[in-house]
């Protein structure tokens, strides 16, 4: 092969390589979800919150009984154990909810051709909001008459000042 043929072949390979590399930079599809909305408006989130509140009430009742029959030192230990029990339970419910969200989110992301999905606060601008579609896939909170609750009614119900926080277990 002549020197000129080698150069032309090398140039053709570079142009072809650049074309392939340029084609690999396909448009990234980034989605995001609002986890707070999923927690407050999904049936699974609503159920998890109800279980956490029930556990809090159970522990509060046990502590009230223990306070009457224990010394201050014993009660302090009982309180600490109760807080640990509540924290573990709350973490388990959170993990169960997150696993449910992740499995539904992975299916939705694949269906929509998303390259990545983040939580709403992590996205500065752009992206596709998948929250409502994921909420439909997960199942919205149902009211007593079996109808799906609208977002505003649920937000008002959730904003009644009660929280399933571990901090409340100390009160």
Is residue 164 classed exposed, middle or buried when 0-12, 13-18 and 19+ CB atoms within 10 A define those classes? buried
The mean pLDDT of the chain is: 78
How much of the chain, in percent, has pLDDT values that exceed 90? 43
pLDDT tens by residue, 53-97: 999 999 999 999 999 999 999 999 999 999 999 999 999 999 999
| pLDDT tops 70 at residue 148 | no
Helix locations, 25-130, DSSP H: 35-41, 43-69, 72-112
pLDDT for residue 162 is more than 50:
no
Is pLDDT of 14 > 70? no
DSSP state of 148: B
Separation in Å, CA 134 to CA 32, 86, 162: 10, 29, 26
CB atoms within 10 A of CB 40: 19
Give me the pLDDT at residue 1, please: 61
Q: Which two tokens stand for residue 149?
A: 């609750």
Could you give the CA distance from residue 12 to residue 7 in angstroms, rounded to a whole number? 9
């Amino acid at each position: 092969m002549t020197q000129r043929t080698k150069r032309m072949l090398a140039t053709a390979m570079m142009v072809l390589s650049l074309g392939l590399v340029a084609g690999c930079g396909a448009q990234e599809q980034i989605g995001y979800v609002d986890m707070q909305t999923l927690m407050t408006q999904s049936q699974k989130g609503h159920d998890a919150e109800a279980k956490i509140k029930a556990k809090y009430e159970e522990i509060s009742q046990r502590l009230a009984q223990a306070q009457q029959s224990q010394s201050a030192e014993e009660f302090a230990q009982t309180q600490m154990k109760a807080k640990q029990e509540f924290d573990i339970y709350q973490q388990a419910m959170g993990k169960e909810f997150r696993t449910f969200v992740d499995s539904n989110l992975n299916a939705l992301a694949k269906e929509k051709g998303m390259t990545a999905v983040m939580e709403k606060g992590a996205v500065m601008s752009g992206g596709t909001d998948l929250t409502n579609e994921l909420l439909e896939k997960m199942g919205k909170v149902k009211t007593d008459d079996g109808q799906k609750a609208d977002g505003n009614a649920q937000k008002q119900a959730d904003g009644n000042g009660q929280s399933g926080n571990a901090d409340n277990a100390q009160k």
